[in-house]
Amino acid sequence: MSDLPVTGEVSNSKLAAVFASRDAARDAAAAMIAQLDLQPAQVKMVTPESADVDIKLEPEGGGIWRTIVIAHVRLGIAGAVFGLLLFGILTWAGVPFVVQSPWAAGLAALGFGTTAGLLIGGLVSLRPDHDRYIQATRDAMEEGGTTIVVHALSAEQQTRAAEFLSRRGGEITQTL
């Protein structure tokens, strides 16, 4: 992750490992907690009978609101900076419209850059990468499988958990 994340969640790296057997899933989860640097709170087991699936999949309900605000503010500002940089480059290049109407061109570049940043912030807030992860868990529930859900604190921790669970026979689906 970067030093300035655009989300407000503690765990941006999630994965679902689907197992055909509840016992295999339970054993894999226990072994993973024992052998990897994961806390028990980061690992959840979802069975077809689980009632609190949404909380297990997305435990940071307040995090999405922080993500919405942080993503829009940071990416909106980044878009504005990009628009102003573009304006500077076009001015330096001597583009006639920009040179003849610097205020209009500057405001247009700033407006379009900010709008683009805000649109990207909206895309980040939708978290499209979570759809596959959530759907894999729901599909496993319908088919009678058991899913181990891991809320990793880093991409590196997610990769280690995915490799571990894959070696144990889990079918892995990850967020980006």
Give the range of the structural domain holding residue 114, as residue numbers without chain letter.
73-120
Q: How confident is the model at residue 140 (pLDDT cuts 50, 70, 90)?
A: confident
pLDDT averaged over the chain? 85
Are residues 116 and 148 both part of a single domain? no
Q: Compute the distance between CA of residue 60 and CA of residue 153 in angstroms, rounded to an integer.
A: 13
Q: Residue 155: phi, psi to the nearest 5?
A: -65, -35
* pLDDT tens figures, 43-52: 888 888 887 7
DSSP 38-75: --GGGEEEE-TT-S-HHHHH---HHHHHHHHHHHHHHH
114 domain-assigned: yes
Are residues 58 and 92 both part of a single domain? no
54 domain-assigned: yes
3 domain-assigned: no
172 contacts 25 by C-beta, under 8 angstroms: no
Q: What number is the average pLDDT over the span 162-168?
A: 89
For position 100, what pLDDT does the model report? 95
- pTM exceeds 0.75: no
Distance of CA 83 to the CA centre of its chain: 26
Q: What number is the average pLDDT over the span 15-24?
A: 88
- For 148, the 3-state DSSP assignment is strand
Are residues 167 and 146 both part of a single domain? yes
* pLDDT tens figures, 65-118: 777 888 899 999 999 999 999 999 999 999 999 999 999 999 999 999 999 999
